[in-house]
Amino acid sequence: MFYTDGKLQFPVRVEKPNPAFARALQQAIGGVEGEIRVCLQYMFQAFGARGPAKYRDMLLNTATEELGHIEMLSTAVALNLENAPLSFKEDMAADPVGGAVLNGTDFRHILSTGLAALPSDANGVPFDASHVYASGNLAADMYANVTAESSGRVLAVRLYNMTDDPGMKEMLSFLIARDTMHQQQWLAAIEDMGGEASLPIPNSFPQEQEQQQFSYAYFGHMTDGSIPEGRWTSGPTMDGKSEFQAMPSKPMGDKPTLAPARPDSGAQVEQTSRSGTGGMMGRVEGAIERNLLS
């Protein structure tokens, strides 16, 4: 259950409305780095969270906070669209060089919402939840959340640097601060669940059942056999269970062999046998080859 009192989480004010910046703010609403994404990500992680209830409660609280951020940013979009031109004639009269519409305003802010925000990114692409990650593994989800908050903070910093409006800078500085906290929050949750000692994820799968000679090996794929040396190529592994090693990658398998195409699969006649022979001979040859490989 959710509640609201209709008030903004943090003040939103715009001193100099800018329709082009309204479009840029859409990325923070409906972009892959945006607030709709993290809101739904935390919410669905919470809905499926199993285990200690504190993790579900933490996720729901933060998902609810992100709803407030969507509200703030949507308000900022609407305020930046105040007094925006509603026609080319009006626009060109104000700015003969090109006007706001021709210089960056999202037409849908005029045509679809009447000067209000959209659940879409800065290019007008609707949010589709394709980057909402809720795996059912809390540790995996927390790492995904660190990434989400990191890319979100990068976006907020870029928006902060893009505008000279004092009110927008103030709002964005608040959102940047919250991204700082949320990065720390998810990292703290990872530590609370065992941190690096709980790796690899999932830690419920017995490692003796994996090909352990490759578990901590860095594969190099450079044609000259060189390896980009770093923390990942030598020394103790992050989970403390082994040592990193580096090795040039070499093929361990053969070239794949597929059976010839079936005659009724829509392939060319030449695909129905390995020799590419057509006619009756090719069909017989292909049938024999398929039976041998089945």
Tell me the per-residue pLDDT of 99-110, one tens digit each, with 9 for 90 and over.
555 557 888 888
Query: Which pLDDT belongs to residue 103?
Result: 59
**What is the reported pLDDT for 143?**
98
For 46-77, how does the pLDDT look when each residue is reduced to its tens digit (9 = 90+)?
A: 999 999 999 999 999 999 999 999 999 999 99
Joined tokens for residue 113? 């919402």
168 token code pair:
């927008």
What pLDDT was estimated at residue 97?
Answer: 42
Alpha-carbon gap, residue 239 to 178, rounded angstroms: 30
Domains of the chain are: 19-197 (1.20.1260.10), 209-251 (no CATH), 259-294 (no CATH)
Reported as half-sphere exposure (CB side, CA atoms, 13 A), residue 262 has a value of: 4
CA distances to 36, 45, 123, 129 from 126, rounded to whole Å, are 11, 22, 9, 9
Quote the tokens at residue 213.
């000679």
Q: Can you say which residues are annotated as belonging to the binding site for Mn(2+)?
A: 35, 66, 69, 149, 182
Residue 245 is inside which H or E element, if any? strand 245-248
Phi, psi of 163, deg, nearest 5 = -105, 150
Q: Dihedral (C-alpha) 183, 189, 192, 196: value to the nearest 10 degrees?
A: -60
* 54/72 Cα distance (integer angstroms): 27
Query: Which residue carries 């999202």 as its tokens?
Result: 106
User: Which residue stretches of the chain have pLDDT < 50?
Assistant: 92-93, 96-98
pLDDT of residue 188: 98
Output the pLDDT for position 282. 66
Give whole-number Cα distances, 101 to 26, 81, 84, 284, in Å: 16, 11, 9, 67
pLDDT of residue 197: 93
Residue-wise burial string across 11-39, b where 16 or more C-beta atoms lie within 10 A, e elsewhere: ebebeebbbbbbbbbbbbbbbbbbbbbbb
Angle among Cα 29, 177, 152 to the nearest 5 degrees reads 35
**Residue 293: predicted pLDDT:** 63
* Residues in the annotated binding site for Ca(2+): 57
Helices of type H across the chain: 19-30, 35-47, 53-80, 88-94, 99-102, 107-111, 138-162, 166-192, 279-293
Q: What is the pLDDT of residue 164?
A: 97
Q: What is the rounded end-to-end Cα distance, in angstroms, of the chain?
A: 56
At position 22, the amino acid (one-letter code) is A
Residues that constitute the known binding site: 35, 57, 66, 69, 149, 182
